[in-house]
Structure 1
Amino acid sequence: MTAGGKAQLSNRTWVLIVLSIVYFVNFLDRSIIYVVQEQIKADFQLTDQQVGLLGGTAFGLLYGAMGIPLARLAERWNRRNIVIFAVTAWSVVTGLCGFCQNYLQLLLARAGVAIGEAGGTPPSHSIISDYFPANRRATALALYTLAVPTGIMMGTMIGGWLASRFGWQKTFMILAVPGILAALLLTTIKEPPRGHSDALIEDGAAPSFGEVVRHALRERAYVNVVIGSGIAAFAAYGVQSFTTAFLLRNFSMDLASAGLAFGLIFGLGSGIGTVVGGIWVDRAAERDVRMRGWLPAIFLAATGPMFMLGYAQSNSMVAIAILFLAGVLSFMHQGASYGVIQNSFPPRMRATGVAAAFMAQALIGLGLGPLVMGMLSDHFAAAAYAGQSFSADCVGAGGVATACKVASAQGLRLALIIVAGAFVIAALYYWRVAAHIGRNTGGKPAAEEGIA
């Protein structure tokens, strides 16, 4: 492409900032359910399993199912405009959550939010990859992914404060506004030519879905990243969805304080992990590209035991401090993951490749993580209950009795410890990523092979 053509594109730093703001809003709207779910549970008299279905499965199934169709559109249509439509749609439906009067209505509304959010990330990843060259792509995607913990932190901190004063319904209404503003910001960036940063401009027709699938299956590093990231998401969404409840039930914290603690653990902690992990892996891969698998495996192998230790504590400050360290570790693999995913595909296939990875994270992580957490919590709470029937005595009656509260706290603690162990399983798949990258490159530095 000519120098004049390059000058017509948006400044790539500004593009990264705008798309990161959109991603921030994505997780702002997505994570608010975690801090208000105890209020919702009390209002609608729900079990933890129903809460898990609301916070995860209803969202995850639709998010996963719609990701690939919307990504296929992104490989044919203007990606920026698709993101504008997506953020507008999910923000409007987030506001509608505040008008729900029963569990079924809220379940359907959350599914609607998922459909909108499914159209935001794959096109954004594809745009970023066309603005940033391969040897800087992992860092750019790590900085973009920083919007995830930032959105979680602000969503839970602001959401906890709002919910403690105005209730969960008005909180949803208020948090619909940032997305509309983000949609307006998107109009300031330009759609880049596909393959721009790879010096390979693709103007032809997008490959068929079958071609993309066949290519993906040949990329064994990609396959292992998808499986590993899906299992890591199962553990991450599982523990995230009930950490606020853990703090409320086990330490009698108020909602605003629990939201603040959650924001520090999964917001600030995860933000540090995203940036440090992305830069660390990029630099290590300059010496040996297999570090893109080895380092994430080490990060994840340490994450599981750290979460287990945190949830086992009886002192709130000690628990929060240890969980903060676990939050740092839990996101250190993200930048490397997306770098491997993007570099496994030619430009016209990238949106679908990203969507498939996000589908795995949505179906395995969001779809199953919170639901399994809720089921285990209910099971262990019933086993720990000193009365006749935990379901009859504690769910229908709102769980106000002391015995109900004790059993509920104990059951949730044990469930969190068990689910956190899945991080270690995810580490095994990232270790295999290194083997497949090494087989293709002989362990040569990324710059030498043109791989990032």
Structure 2
Amino acid sequence: MQDEARQRGTITLIALTLVGTLNFVDRQILSVLVEPIKQELHFSDTEFGLLTGLAFSLFYALFGLPAAVIADRGKRVRVIAIACAIWSAFTAFTGSVHSFAAMAFARFGVGMGEAGGTAPSISVLSDSFRREQRPLVIGLFTLNGPVGVFVGAAFGGWAATHIGWRGAFYTLGIVGLIAAPLLWLLVREPRRGQFDEAPSPAAAEAKPATMMGTIAFFFTDPNLRLLAIGSGLSAFLSYGMLNWIPAYLMRVQQMPLTAVASWFAVAAGVTMGAGMVGGGALVNAAVRRSARGYATVPGYATLVLVPIFGLSLIVDGWPLALALMLVPMACCTVFTPASLALAQELGPRNARATVAATLLLMFNIAGLGLGPLFVGIVSDMLTPTMGIEGLRTGLLLLLVPGTAAIFVYLRLANRLAAQSGTPKPIGPEVVA
């Protein structure tokens, strides 16, 4: 029986990670193809900041919570499969656009579809593995981010010279439309809370949590509030970095597009993957001693990231700049598995998807929505007087929210340590 559960959990993890990878490829490909798209459609950096950030994250945020509530009340795997079909259809549509408005509409649709992917997946995985395994499992699942960056960068660089940027979006859309029904067929819906401690009678008889009740609980809980702030600041830095590093290397450091495909793709994929899995493993080890490990691991990772990323932006030559960016690109992803795992511990078991979606709302509004847009606006404002150095300045200013995140994580670590020296759940069992 245990072997069957372990095998089923492994299949679930692999399938959800592959679908999640498509999710991130669809996001990353636009950043990699920024220069050829700009040449044809004549977008400004601010417009591209909107397309890679706010246009996507706005609809991701609007639909993320309703999709999570549907998942908490129904079949989560079905929700993920339908979401995959929606975002893939809009990805294919992106290849046909000829204006900023049409491109924005396509990104709206991609964001709407992807809103039903990550949070329900985290909920499914939390009910497929024991709680002591969850940080590492979530770290493995969030490998879809760096793998998606790697595939997106490699495929985007190849597509730009062989099938064009439009062909790249058509291809990705078709792959996703094939993957959606396969996920539905392969992955079983796990029983909610099957690996948790025995629920209390109130928890066992509780009705499904309401969206407003879960949101109210999330933002009135001091630990979850600090987690949201720290994660939002980290995401602002992380997405701002990752969405603009390819353009920075090509524009400021004169890195050829072919080198982006062969060097940046590998560097980003390996380092970010190391950050995701390494971060999850470090949290697994740290929380055996104290619950503060959920916060100290991303806090110290950000402490390493800030000075080294700053140094990478003031050197000359893309080989040295990229080499120095390896450590920051690993550190910038550590917060993801740590934050998502802690949210699952602090939140109620009958609202896990909604709690994850609420945290992801911070990731995507503060991070994906505002981080890339901020860098784009700074670049456009300074380009008339500073030229290409405007983009460098925009990236340097990301170090300010990164520094603030360090202090928030340390504050959260102290609260967790004061409340519990062990990694037992701190939040209530249910939200009515």
TM-score with structure 2 length normalisation? Answer: 0.93
Q: Residues of 2 paired with 1:51 and 1:367: CA distance?
A: 12
1:9-408 alignment to 2 at 5 Å?
11-186=8-183, 187-200=185-198, 205-384=207-386, 407=387
Q: Residues of 2 paired with 1:96 and 1:169: CA distance?
A: 9
Q: Could you say what secondary structure the match of 1:176 adopts?
A: helix
Q: Residues of 1 paired with 2:151 and 2:349: CA distance?
A: 33
Q: Aligned-pair distance for 1:9?
A: 9.2
Q: Aligned-pair distance for 1:181?
A: 3.2
1:426 equivalenced with 2:428 (yes/no): no
CA gap 1:265/1:305 in 2 versus in 1, 3 angstroms: farther
Unaligned runs of 5+ in 1: 385-406
Amino acid at match of 1:178: V
Indicate conservation of the 8 Å contact 1:160/1:259, yes or no: yes
Indicate conservation of the 8 Å contact 1:134/1:450, yes or no: no
Amino acid at match of 2:288: E
Amino acid at match of 2:283: V
CA gap 1:325/1:8 in 2 versus in 1, 3 angstroms: closer
Paired residue total: 422
Q: Aligned-pair distance for 1:320?
A: 0.6
Q: Could you say what secondary structure the match of 1:281 adopts?
A: helix
Q: Could you say what secondary structure the match of 2:43 adopts?
A: coil
- Per-residue Cα deviation, 1:190-225 (whole angstroms, up to 9, x for no partner): 101111111557575312223213332343222211
Which one is further off, 197-206 or 137-146?
A: 197-206
Amino acid at match of 2:286: A
Q: Aligned-pair distance for 1:107?
A: 1.0
Q: Aligned-pair distance for 1:450?
A: 6.0
Amino acid at match of 1:63: Y
Q: Residues of 1 paired with 2:161 and 2:419: CA distance?
A: 54
Q: Residues of 1 paired with 2:216 and 2:367: CA distance?
A: 24
Q: Aligned-pair distance for 1:8?
A: 7.9
Q: Residues of 2 paired with 1:178 and 1:216: CA distance?
A: 36
Indicate conservation of the 8 Å contact 2:92/2:172, yes or no: yes
Amino acid at match of 1:185: L
- Per-residue Cα deviation, 1:96-125 (whole angstroms, up to 9, x for no partner): 100111121111101110000000111111
- Per-residue Cα deviation, 1:145-199 (whole angstroms, up to 9, x for no partner): 1111011111111111111222211111111133123223312111011111115
Q: Could you say what secondary structure the match of 1:71 adopts?
A: helix
Indicate conservation of the 8 Å contact 1:75/1:349, yes or no: yes
Which position in structure 2 is the counterpart of 1:439?
Answer: 418
Q: Aligned-pair distance for 1:420?
A: 3.5
Q: Residues of 2 paired with 1:188 and 1:291: CA distance?
A: 35
CA gap 1:203/1:147 in 2 versus in 1, 3 angstroms: farther
RMSD: 2.0
Amino acid at match of 1:18: A
Q: Residues of 1 paired with 2:4 and 2:162: CA distance?
A: 49
Which one is further off, 254-263 or 284-293?
A: 254-263
Indicate conservation of the 8 Å contact 2:215/2:358, yes or no: no
Q: Residues of 2 paired with 1:335 and 1:451: CA distance?
A: 18
Indicate conservation of the 8 Å contact 1:229/1:361, yes or no: yes
CA gap 1:285/1:45 in 2 versus in 1, 3 angstroms: same
- Per-residue Cα deviation, 1:304-357 (whole angstroms, up to 9, x for no partner): 222111121102111011111111111122221111111011221111100011
Amino acid at match of 2:232: G
Q: Residues of 2 paired with 1:148 and 1:230: CA distance?
A: 17
Indicate conservation of the 8 Å contact 2:238/2:333, yes or no: no
Amino acid at match of 1:235: L
Amino acid at match of 1:284: A
Identity %: 31
Q: Could you say what secondary structure the match of 1:194 adopts?
A: coil
CA gap 1:200/1:43 in 2 versus in 1, 3 angstroms: farther
Which position in structure 2 is the counterpart of 1:394?
Answer: none
Indicate conservation of the 8 Å contact 1:235/1:369, yes or no: yes
Q: Residues of 2 paired with 1:287 and 1:10: CA distance?
A: 29
Q: Residues of 1 paired with 2:233 and 2:5: CA distance?
A: 42
Amino acid at match of 1:244: P
Which position in structure 1 is the counterpart of 2:392?
Answer: 413
Q: List structure 1 segments (4+ residues) > 4 angstroms apart after TM superposition.
A: 6-10, 199-204
Which position in structure 2 is the counterpart of 1:399?
Answer: none
Indicate conservation of the 8 Å contact 1:264/1:324, yes or no: no
Q: Could you say what secondary structure the match of 2:73 adopts?
A: coil
Q: Residues of 1 paired with 2:316 and 2:4: CA distance?
A: 58
Q: Residues of 2 paired with 1:324 and 1:90: CA distance?
A: 30
Amino acid at match of 2:411: R
Larger Rg: 1
Q: Residues of 2 paired with 1:302 and 1:223: CA distance?
A: 24
Which position in structure 1 is the counterpart of 2:430?
Answer: none
